[in-house]
Structure 1
Amino acid sequence: MHERPEEDVRRDARNLEIGHSAMRWAGDHLEIEVEERDTRLFNPIHRRVAGKVRVYPEALNRTSFALDPAENHIWHCMAPRARIEVEMEEPGLSWSGTGYFDHNRGSEPLESGFNMWHWSRAHLKEGAVVCYEGERGNGSLFASAIRFDRHAEASHVELPAIAPLPKSKWWVDRRTRSEIGVAEVRKTWEDTPFYARSELDSKLFGEEVATVQESLDMKRFASGVVQFMLPFRMPRKPA
């Protein structure tokens, strides 16, 4: 919840520590320890946010995918399907359910490589499917659909039809893919001037599915207004 200086980041092959929070592989699962303070705007009392999240992959995928021809941006879906357990100390909440685990890495800032992207993920009866598309910084377009079987083996499949979505409250353009070209926003979880993340009802490969979808506008992110606002939502703080 805070940006931290380089010296507060520590990592090795199995561990990542950022300030007082950490992620580490613990046998058959990924354990995430959260120790932070919330960043409610205009509120001087920043509550403690602390607890553990455990991610148990059903299977691990070892294949990464380049999002641009120069391979400056790499996406890796490590666990297309997973079981998660959440145990928070503060606030006192706990739950379990299904999850997903991926990460992006690159040799340049995202705003240098992309103008916009749309991403979605849905669990199927067996495996999962991820649709990725957008516009790179040079104006070229990219789009792909990747299906993962129950062993997390990946294969490129035909892209479902484009399903337009209403703009977010901040007027971020959104779109997804659905077998009949129609999808419905069930709930928007995060809505910012440059990013929206939502839950959708859609249809993929003959199945009615709940889809997690995100749209990211990097031109907006790089604008002076948004860059001025970011420290209020994600302040820089030493450990």
Structure 2
Amino acid sequence: MAPGGYAWWYVDALSDDGDSGLTLIAFVGSVFSPYYAWQRRRAPGGAADATDHCAINIALYGRGGKRWAMTERGRAALARDATTLRVGPSALRWRNGALEAEIDEVTVPIPSRVRGRLRVEPLAVMTQPYALDAGGVHHWQPIAPCARIDVEFEHPPHVWRGHAYVDHNRGDAPLERHFARWDWSRATLPGGDVVVLYDVERRDGTPLSLALRFDAAGRVAGFSPPPPAALPTTGWRIARGTRSDAGHPARVRATLEDTPFYARSLVEMRLHGEPATAVHESLSLDRFTAPIVQAMLPFRMPRRAR
């Protein structure tokens, strides 16, 4: 990984009954870390050590209660090899064809334990990365767009089974250097296929709009993106947008995370003539770099050496 770069592994899941969900992100070179941003500004040429800014972010939603935790840790807390990534007390590992995670984190600002495990079984594993910028500095790779998950958390109690999605992002420069904002979503269709929509606003003004459909056999097909569909802004006035079949507006079913620079939502739309509920995210990197937002972030993202 280049100095000043990043890598993250992302899992999101919804229960089969639609009442519970989770998001798990493991960062090396945490792209949303104020500490990493400060270090890059001080380091010659921005060449800060990504491994000194690691975190595992866990968010749980639904009947067992909502929890969110993200503690950044230094290089002494990081251990990794070809199959395992450990950051402090939490770890992800590939074993017997599945992704397993053991989570032991603490929420802020009111401390509460988030402890449990999950197991993601990919129906197929993808290997093709997609460049997100014209220079090929940033890449996104859907690893397991179609997957099943078993969730078992003791604190708070969350036990359920559902459908899941896994991907990987990596880059050799900060996100805000090449992107102004993006909207991303993944939706599981009634038959099990997964549609990913990715609209990126690049700094150089060139467009990127990805529309991909994945099936359980590992096949992927690109298609013409549906028309844009407006969504209401969040409480923090973050712009949200998606796409939906012509004549079918999209609707925000729930806003899961509403922050000064990022929103995660459940969005109902219609794709390929079928109803779908998508996990949707909107990211404003102009907001992220604002000094007042950088000053607020440590209250949600504490740092520990280990």
TM-score bracket relative to the smaller structure: over 0.9
Q: Give the SS at the match of 1:3.
A: strand
- Structure 2: gaps (5+ residues): 1-69
- Name the counterpart of 2:104: 35
Tell me by how many angstroms 1:144 deviates. 1.5
- The number of equivalent residue pairs is 235
- Name the counterpart of 1:7: 76
Contact 1:172 1:193 in 2 (8 A): yes
Please give the per-residue CA displacement for 1:142-185, whole angstroms capped at 9, x wherever unaligned. Answer: 11101112212222211111001000111000000101251011
Which of these residues, 187, 191, 198, is aligned with residue 265 of structure 2? 198
Which of these residues, 224, 232, 240, is aligned with residue 158 of structure 1? 224
Q: Give the SS at the match of 1:39.
A: coil
**Alignment map for 1:166-185 (pairs within 5 Å):** 166-180=232-246, 182-185=249-252
Q: Give the SS at the match of 1:230.
A: helix
**Alignment map for 1:10-89 (pairs within 5 Å):** 10-40=79-109, 43=110, 46-89=111-154
Q: Which amino acid aligns with 2:103?
A: V
- Name the counterpart of 2:206: 140
Contact 1:172 1:194 in 2 (8 A): yes
Tell me by how many angstroms 1:211 deviates. 1.3
Please give the per-residue CA displacement for 1:60-118, whole angstroms capped at 9, x wherever unaligned. Answer: 11111110121111101111111111111222321111111112111011111210000
- Name the counterpart of 2:180: 115
Contact 2:146 2:192 in 1 (8 A): no
- Name the counterpart of 1:219: 286
- Structure 1: gaps (5+ residues): none
- Name the counterpart of 2:301: 234
Contact 1:5 1:238 in 2 (8 A): yes
Contact 2:146 2:215 in 1 (8 A): no
Cα distance in 2 between the residues matched to 1:65 and 1:7: 32
Q: Which amino acid aligns with 2:86?
A: E
- Pair 1:92 & 2:161 matched: no
Q: Give the SS at the match of 1:2.
A: strand
Q: Which amino acid aligns with 1:186?
A: R
Q: Structure 1-normalised TM-score? A: 0.94
RMSD: 1.2
Q: Structure 2-normalised TM-score? A: 0.74
Structure 1 residues 98 and 126, CA gap change in structure 2 (3 angstroms): closer
Where does structure 1 differ by over 6 angstroms across 4 or more consecutive aligned residues? none
Contact 1:127 1:152 in 2 (8 A): no
Cα distance in 2 between the residues matched to 1:122 and 1:91: 26
Contact 1:60 1:151 in 2 (8 A): no
Q: Which amino acid aligns with 2:197?
A: C
